[in-house]
């Protein structure tokens, strides 16, 4: 006989009611924002990161912090580059000024007196030194600016996550291409640099550059501008100048030949010429300002059947030898006429 036993009723457990803090997606978004901030700013964080996390929502904090950090870095790099460039320019300018003006002597500094003003040949050499120093200072300032600002630009590009290696490779290839195409230009600049460093010539000098000769009106790293006796202006590239004859560097020499009759009294003519050069040496309009040394009568230079040629020499400041030569001829002619000594024809 079978007994029917009723089966137990299954127990149903109620599911928990979801809380407001566990809404789907909100906790994940919070964790994602914190991870982005920590990844962008690092575990240690910083002032910018802490400020961004405190003020901004987690989703915006990493982007704003990254932008602010990049902008501040760019501003600092630019400021440092400008400060370094200013310091370099001031240093170069100070060195150029000291090199162009020269230093006072130790005795003068101890006495507290300024050096005496330069005159004659010393003044001209000081002016040439000043021009050369200023030109080299301009070149050095440009070079320092290019190096400092170029380095700052590359650093800023690296900060902006711009790959520098392709840029440097492209610049190198472009430089090689320009170098092959502009060999003559590079040659002119290098020749101009050495010309300035060695002080081969300067503005106001009378030079013979091979292709042209005349007075130098302008000197740059690429060309030299000359004006000849007819007024023509010549532009000569520095790279094409293989030799330079400078008639105005340091000092010049005025040479005058005086032909007298073969029968003239030699001692009398020599004494007369010595008196003339003494007069011009004692003339305040010429002494030291134009004539730097006492003129000399070198004596007899030539003898022919009809004439005896005396030579008179005077050392002058650059480019004034023609002026002194003309003045010597005028005074010698007047003295010979007063002494009734005829000027002979040179055969």
Looking at the fold, whether 237 and 283 belong to one and the same domain comes out as no
Summarised one tens digit per residue, pLDDT across range 68-89 is: 777 888 899 999 999 999 999 8
237 domain-assigned = yes
pLDDT at position 330, please?
93
Residues 142 and 173 in one domain: yes
CATH number at residue 285: 3.30.70.100
Sheet holding 307-316, edge to edge: 252-261, 307-316, 296-303
Q: How many other CB atoms are found less than 10 A from the CB of residue 337?
A: 11
Domain of 68, CATH number, reads: 1.10.287
Which of 134, 152, 181 is a domain's end point?
181
The predicted structure's pLDDT at residue 322: 86
Torsions phi, psi of 167, nearest 5? -65, -45
Q: In whole angstroms, give the CA distance from residue 168 to residue 189.
A: 24
Please tell me whether residues 194 and 309 are part of one structural domain. no
Taking the CA atoms of residue 96, residue 102, residue 106 and residue 109 in that order, the dihedral angle to the nearest 10 degrees is -80
- What's the CATH code of the domain at 215? 2.30.30.60
In the chain, the percentage of residues whose pLDDT exceeds 90 is: 20
3-class state of residue 18 by DSSP: coil
Q: Do 198 and 266 reside in the same domain of the chain?
A: no
Judge if 194 and 98 occupy the same domain.
no
β-sheet bridge partners, residue 286: none
Burial of 1 (0-12, 13-18, 19+ CB in 10 A): exposed
Provide mean pLDDT across the span 271-280: 93
- What is the domain range of residue 318? 252-338
Domain identity same for 234 and 268: no
Q: How far apart are CA 202 and CA 129, in angstroms?
A: 10
Average pLDDT over residues 307-320: 89
234 within some domain: yes
Nearest in space to 146 (alpha carbons), one of 87, 191, 85:
85
Domain end marker among 218, 246, 274: 246
Show Cβ contacts of residue 85 under 8 Å, excluding neighbours closer than 6 positions: 144, 145, 148, 149
- How sure is the predictor about 53, in pLDDT bands with cuts at 50, 70 and 90? low
Q: What is the pLDDT of residue 272?
A: 94
Q: Are residues 66 and 173 in the same domain?
A: yes
- Is the pLDDT at 327 greater than 70, yes or no? yes
d(C-alpha 46, C-alpha 71), whole Å: 15
Give residue 19's pLDDT.
46
Please state the φ and ψ torsions of residue 60, each to the nearest 5 degrees. Answer: -95, -25
Q: Model pTM greater than 0.75?
A: no
Residue 37: Cβ within 10 Å count:
24
Q: Which strand (E) or helix (H) includes residue 43?
A: none
347 belongs to a structural domain: no
pLDDT in tens, 84-115: 999 998 998 888 887 776 544 333 444 444 44
Average model confidence (pLDDT) for the chain?
76
Q: Is pLDDT above 50 for 166?
A: yes
CA nearest to 294, candidates 275, 308, 310: 275
Domains in the chain: how many in total?
A: 3
Confidence of residue 257 (pLDDT cuts 50, 70, 90): very high
Could you tell me if 167 and 261 lie in one domain?
A: no
Flag the least confident range among 44-53, 244-253, 281-290, 325-334. 44-53
pLDDT of residue 121: 55
242 and 285 fall within a common domain? no
Does residue 255 have a pLDDT over 80? yes
């Amino acid at each position: 006989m079978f007994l029917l036993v009723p089966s137990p009723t299954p127990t149903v457990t109620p599911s928990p009611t979801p809380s407001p803090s566990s809404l789907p997606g909100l906790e994940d978004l919070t964790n994602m924002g914190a991870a982005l901030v920590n990844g962008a700013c690092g575990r240690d964080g910083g002032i910018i990161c802490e400020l961004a996390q405190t003020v901004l929502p987690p989703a915006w904090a990493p982007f704003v912090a990254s932008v602010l950090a990049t902008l501040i870095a760019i501003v600092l790099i630019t400021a440092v580059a400008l400060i370094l460039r200013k310091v370099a320019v001031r240093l170069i300018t100070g060195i150029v000024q000291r090199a162009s003006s020269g230093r006072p002597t130790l005795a003068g500094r101890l006495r507290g007196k300024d050096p005496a003003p330069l005159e004659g040949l010393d003044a001209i050499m000081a002016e040439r030194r000043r021009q050369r120093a200023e030109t080299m200072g301009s070149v050095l300032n440009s070079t320092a600016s290019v190096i400092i600002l170029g380095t700052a630009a590359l650093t800023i590009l690296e900060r902006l996550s711009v790959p520098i290696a392709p840029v440097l490779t492209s610049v190198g290839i472009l430089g090689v291409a320009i170098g092959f195409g502009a060999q003559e230009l590079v040659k002119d600049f290098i020749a101009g640099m050495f010309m300035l460093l060695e002080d081969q010539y300067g503005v106001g000098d009378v030079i013979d550059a091979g292709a042209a000769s005349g007075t130098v009106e302008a000197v740059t790293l690429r060309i030299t501008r000359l004006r000849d006796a007819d007024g023509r202006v010549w532009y000569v590239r520095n790279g094409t100048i293989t030799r330079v004859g400078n008639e105005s560097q340091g000092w010049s020499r005025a040479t005058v030949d005086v032909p007298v009759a073969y029968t003239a009294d030699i001692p009398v003519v020599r004494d007369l010429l010595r008196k003339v050069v003494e007069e011009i040496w004692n003339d305040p309009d010429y002494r030291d300002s134009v004539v730097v040394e006492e003129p000399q009568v070198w004596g007899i230079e030539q003898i022919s059947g009809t004439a005896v040629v005396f030579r008179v020499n005077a050392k002058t400041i650059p480019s004034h030898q023609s002026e002194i030569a003309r003045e010597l001829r005028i005074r010698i002619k007047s003295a010979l006429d007063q002494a009734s000594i005829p000027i002979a024809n040179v055969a």
